Structure 1
Amino acid sequence: MTRIAHLSDLHFGFHRQALVGPLLDRVNRARADLVVVTGDLTHRGRPGQFRDAARFLARINAPVMAVPGNHDVPLYNIPVRFVAPWVEYRQAIDPQLAPTRAAGRVRVLGLNSVDPFTWQRGVIRDGEIGRLIAGFDALATNIVALHHPLQHLPGIDKQLARRAPQALRRLEDAGAQIVLSGHLHLWTAQALLAHGHRHILQIQAGTALCARLGDLQNEFAVLEIEGDHLTIERHIARMDEDGFRPPEMLAFRRGVQGWQALDPATPADHSAAGGQPVPTLPGATETAFSTA
């Protein structure tokens, strides 16, 4: 059994300061074998925000791996954004932009999906899909971690990362079992299984710390992987509450027909009963200066 904690979109510099302690306490009590952070550790890619993010990561007891998000390159310092976008990230977070980690029988492969030449839209670069596939372990559960989702539910008004559909198809065909992402500040997992890719479970995280009121809640998830069974604990802190609620539980099983949810659709997922998407929450908009 392997436990992976998945955090995304911390947005240090525009974060809920009062939730930092409760988040650290809940993450450390989860006793994860690995903590995966899928981007947007900072709000504007500023040095002080990276220092805050690095201090936060240093207080996590488990090993940590991270990939950058579109907010982790400078927004206003245009020359640095285009010429040396990763300087602060490499110094504060990790010299590697696409690390790989192993925990038990789980292998997590990072992918840098950020395009410094656009505000929000990501890109899957040439050669990256092949690199990931070459790193798969046939005897392990292979997880790909990146910031930008590889698929959107209906009603999402952001553009997919360039080459995302090709990446999703090739990764699924090659045997990737799970994809972790963030970016939208909207939780989705079960609902995506009804949209054509049942052999790869796409878990899109909400925001762990962003203070934007329109997001309504902060959250992170803990994945417990044991063979072909997956249990997910969703830890949610509503914006009008001081801390995290008891975790909501989801369970999945992987078989010859792909992933199957073992519990019915609930309000915990970004879908209503019957698999129909609920309206997009406020704030998930395709504008240059919005948070997501």
Structure 2
Amino acid sequence: MRLAHISDPHFGTEEAPVRDALREDLLREAPDLVVLTGDITQRARQAQFRAARAFLDSLAPLPVLTLPGNHDLPLFDLFTRFTAPYRHYRRHICASLSPLWRGRRVAVVGVNSTRMLRHKHGELPAPLVEQVARQLAALGESFKVVALHHPLEIIEPSDRRNRVRGADAALAAWIAAGADLFLGGHIHLPYCVATGDGSRDALVLQAGTSMSTRRRNGRPNSYNLVRFVPIALRGAGEAGLRRIEIEERDHDARIGRFTIVTCREAVCTGSGWSLLSQGAVPLPG
């Protein structure tokens, strides 16, 4: 099972060559699911949503799970923001703000971390955290993934204000309910970290901006390709372990393609997920 994690295309600021290269790479790799973690548009305008819809349609037959970001709520149209903030998103992208995808071994739970009264920052109220925890606990798939727009963990002190409100409570409840991997965007910075209280850890995977000119500190556009391996095959002593392999793919403007720049591998033992390796050489197989 493979999952492509893209985020923050910000249609209205997209670069056409990068957009087309992303489409080509996704269709070439043909993941089982594409997850888009928000900020689909730059200013929640209908023309931007239509452009996003055309891009998503061009990925057919790949299934796509989408979530709204703070940029997908109207900023200047205050009447729409306070009366029907998700109207354009629901009309053009997805009717559900909390989609669920279930495969043979992997389930992905979508969580809406945006709030009408918050211009930029996200929030996870206690009732929502409890609802998602119950949903996770009821799933029987080998791998449980939670996707949302705002980051649950940060690596740069300057991003402290961008971490979603209620992150600590959400991580504790959702990891206890069986979550293995959290997907996020918002800050246009790709990274992967293990998180938890030590008794059971999970992974937080962030994606950069997939095609927008709003690149952070000159970093290239990027997305993640995730492979879920239910049984490790590298040695008899590892039988029964679960593995996640993650490729960060960056857009190389010199050749007009997305290429693998970082490979990460994580393994799940009795205490949860641990990152084992990271390098610039593609993983075998």
Shorter-chain TM-score tier: 0.7 to 0.9
Q: Any residues of structure 2 matched to 1:191-210 within 5 Å, and which?
A: 192-193=193-194, 199-210=201-212
- Equivalent position of 2:16 in the other structure: 17
Tell me which moved more, 35-44 or 213-222.
213-222
- Equivalent position of 1:8 in the other structure: 7
* CA 179–248 in structure 1, closer or farther in 2 if over 3 Å, else same: same
Q: What TM-score, normalized by structure 2, do the two folds share?
A: 0.87
**Which protein has the bigger strand share?**
2
> Is 1:256 matched with 2:256?
no
CA contact (8 A) 2:196 2:202 kept: no
Q: Is the partner of 1:200 in helix, strand or coil?
A: strand
* CA 158–51 in structure 1, closer or farther in 2 if over 3 Å, else same: farther
CA contact (8 A) 2:262 2:278 kept: no
Q: Any residues of structure 2 matched to 1:78-117 within 5 Å, and which?
A: 78-117=78-117
Task: Compute the displacement of 1:116 (Å).
Answer: 2.0
Task: Compute the displacement of 1:134 (Å).
Answer: 2.1
- Equivalent position of 1:211 in the other structure: 213
- Equivalent position of 1:281 in the other structure: none
Corresponding residue to 2:146 among 130, 144, 147 = 144
- Equivalent position of 2:75 in the other structure: 75
Deviations 1:97-134 (A, max 9, x none): 11000122100000000012122110113422222222
Task: Compute the displacement of 1:262 (Å).
Answer: 2.4
- Equivalent position of 2:174 in the other structure: 171
Deviations 1:121-163 (A, max 9, x none): 1011342222222222144311000000112224233422221
Q: Is the partner of 1:23 in helix, strand or coil?
A: helix
Q: Is the partner of 1:12 in helix, strand or coil?
A: coil
Task: Compute the displacement of 1:16 (Å).
Answer: 1.1
User: What CA RMSD, in Å, does the superposition of the two structures yield over aligned residues?
Assistant: 2.1
Q: Is the partner of 1:50 in helix, strand or coil?
A: helix
Task: Compute the displacement of 1:241 (Å).
Answer: 6.0
- Equivalent position of 1:123 in the other structure: 123
**Residue correspondences, number:** 265
- Equivalent position of 1:279 in the other structure: none
Q: Is the partner of 1:134 in helix, strand or coil?
A: helix
CA contact (8 A) 1:9 1:38 kept: yes
> Is 1:39 matched with 2:41?
no
* CA 105–29 in structure 1, closer or farther in 2 if over 3 Å, else same: same
CA distance in 2, matches of 1:128, 1:220: 28
Q: Mind listing any 5+ residue stretches in structure 1 that lack a counterpart?
A: 267-292
Letter of the 2:105 partner, please give it.
R
CA contact (8 A) 1:69 1:147 kept: yes
CA contact (8 A) 2:264 2:279 kept: no
Corresponding residue to 1:181 among 172, 179, 184 = 184
Q: Is the partner of 1:147 in helix, strand or coil?
A: coil
CA contact (8 A) 1:44 1:71 kept: yes
- Equivalent position of 1:56 in the other structure: 55
* CA 102–247 in structure 1, closer or farther in 2 if over 3 Å, else same: farther
CA distance in 1, matches of 2:73, 2:209: 18
Task: Compute the displacement of 1:260 (Å).
Answer: 1.9
Q: Mind listing any 5+ residue stretches in structure 2 that lack a counterpart?
A: 231-241, 281-285
Task: Compute the displacement of 1:215 (Å).
Answer: 4.3
- Identical amino acids, percent of aligned pairs: 32
Q: What TM-score, normalized by structure 1, do the two folds share?
A: 0.85
CA contact (8 A) 2:247 2:260 kept: no
* CA 196–98 in structure 1, closer or farther in 2 if over 3 Å, else same: same
CA distance in 2, matches of 1:258, 1:265: 22
CA contact (8 A) 1:7 1:221 kept: yes
Q: Is the partner of 1:167 in helix, strand or coil?
A: helix
Task: Compute the displacement of 1:234 (Å).
Answer: 1.4
